Chain A
Amino acid sequence: AAGVIQSPRHLIKEKRETATLKCYPIPRHDTVYWYQQGPGQDPQFLISFYEKMQSDKGSIPDRFSAQQFSDYHSELNMSSLELGDSALYFCASSSTEGQTINYGYTFGSGTRLTVV
Chain B
Amino acid sequence: KQEVTQIPAALSVPEGENLVLNCSFTDSAIYNLQWFRQDPGKGLTSLLLIQSSQREQTSGRLNASLDKSSGRSTLYIAASQPGDSATYLCAVSPYNTDKLIFGTGTRLQVFP
State the A residues within 8 Å of B (CB): 31, 33, 35, 42-45, 48, 50, 55-56, 58, 88, 90, 92, 100-110, 112
Chain B contacts with A in 58-95, Cβ cutoff 8 A: 89, 91, 93
Chain B contacts with A in 21-61, Cβ cutoff 8 A: 31-32, 34, 36, 41-46, 49, 51
A56 touches B51 (CB 8 A): no
CA distance A105 to B92 in the complex (A): 11
With contact pairs A88-B41, A106-B46, A110-B42 given, residues A42 and B32 touching in the complex (Cβ less than 8 Å): no
CA distance A16 to B23 in the complex (A): 39
List the 4 closest A-B pairs by CB distance, nearest first. Answer: A45-B99, A109-B43, A56-B98, A104-B49
Closest to A32 in B: B98
Contact size range, B: 20 to 34
Q: Is the interface of A mostly helix, strand, loop or mixed?
A: strand
Q: How many pairs, one residue from A and one from B, have CB atoms within 8 Å of each other in the complex? A: 61
A31 touches B98 (CB 8 A): yes
* Interface-centre pick from B43, B46, B97 (highest chain A CB count, 10 A): B43
A102 touches B31 (CB 8 A): yes
- Least CB distance, A14 to chain B, in whole angstroms: 22
Closest to B89 in A: A42
Choose one: A56, A106, A108, A112; the contact of B99 (CB below 8 Å).
A56
Chain A residue contacts of B45, Cβ below 8 A: 107
Chain B residue contacts of A33, Cβ below 8 A: 98-100
CA distance A104 to B92 in the complex (A): 10
CA distance A106 to B34 in the complex (A): 11
CA distance A42 to B102 in the complex (A): 6
B32 touches A101 (CB 8 A): yes
- Least CB distance, B44 to chain A, in whole angstroms: 4
A107 touches B46 (CB 8 A): yes
CA distance A103 to B105 in the complex (A): 22
Chain A residue contacts of B31, Cβ below 8 A: 100-102
B43 touches A107 (CB 8 A): yes
- Least CB distance, B58 to chain A, in whole angstroms: 15
A104 touches B34 (CB 8 A): yes
* Interface-centre pick from B34, B44, B97, B98 (highest chain A CB count, 10 A): B98
